[in-house]
Structure 1
């Protein structure tokens, strides 16, 4: 048997190939050599840190007119925009942030971190989808399971939890 003939023609290319070509010059103006530090910030530093700070720019040291060939490129200073009230926490985490960034980039790109306290841009509110009103039978079953709870507010919270746990989820 012979292999099936290959189709000749134009194949779709990933959108990222086009986008990165347009984004790289824009991030270069902020001192970043590539867009991956900005686009993958959450994966690089973790969700907890990414929620309270974001990279603003890389500030490279000034070069002399004729750099000597034996002197290696000095690392940059990362300027982070930090939510007000969290600078001290980020300052304590700075060595770990620097290590994660340098590991991601594969070389000693960043040696210092400075901070600028400013609220991060408001992200789209992550709201939970509204649940349909509970079936009366499910509500009665949840209320029955919480009969022994004396505190009213706790019982109401447990009934709501029971309704959600007992309501079958719809598949998408």
Structure 2
């Protein structure tokens, strides 16, 4: 697949799939989900003996822009280390949505047994407010379902 995509990415964006693949290591975990390399803009006359370094255009979601600005020098250094020479001398940040599949951050939950339901009912039986009792029952169910999948001796 990469043999088909690589020439298109190189022609359209002026960069390789390897840079895109190495991006999380280049920017680190604080920035990887909010920005991505979009293209390398090479100056006119690219390929001549007097080739100037490129400008790396990075697409960035609004919330990450300030954080990215503070890391520009570090990112420039890491990108150039990746290439093995001074390939990039500027970074241009463009604000746009960076669509990535985000991992499911919900904790795994186990089944709620009849014993769990009885425990919750006993604990909330004397609460007079219906709204408060229902809220505490939902909280108890959530806690017990999460604890049902946690290994014994986890300490949390």
TM over 0.5: yes
For the 8 Å contact 2:112–2:144, the answer to whether it is kept is no
- Alignment gaps of 5+ in structure 2: 125-131, 152-156
What residue is the counterpart of 2:127 in the other structure? none
- Between Structure 1 and Structure 2, which shows a larger proportion of helix residues? 2
- Please list, as runs of the form range in 1=range in 2, the aligned pairs for 1:2-151 lying within 5 A after superposition: 19-29=1-11, 30-32=13-15, 34-63=16-45, 67-68=48-49, 71=50, 73-121=51-99, 123-124=100-101, 126-127=103-104, 128=106, 131=109, 133-138=111-116, 143=120
Q: Any idea what the Cα deviations from partners look like across 1:101-133, whole Å, max 9, x if unmatched?
A: 222222222111001111123x34543487454
Q: Distance in 2 between matches of 1:92 and 1:110?
A: 17
Count of paired positions: 141
91 and 64 in structure 1: CA distance in 2 versus 1, 3 angstrom threshold: closer
Q: Normalising to structure 1: TM-score of the pair?
A: 0.63
> Per the alignment, do residues 107 and 114 of structure 1 end up closer, same or farther by CA in structure 2, a change over 3 Å counting?
same
TM-aligned CA distance change 1:168 to 1:51, over 3 Å: closer
Gaps of 5+ in 1: 1-18
Distance 1:167 1:85 in 2: 34
Gap change, CA 1:82 and 1:41, over 3 Å in 2: same
Aligned partner of residue 24 in structure 1, secondary structure: helix
* 8 Å contact kept, 1:83–1:117: yes
Query: For the residues of structure 2 that align with 1:102 and 1:140, how far apart are their CA atoms?
Result: 62
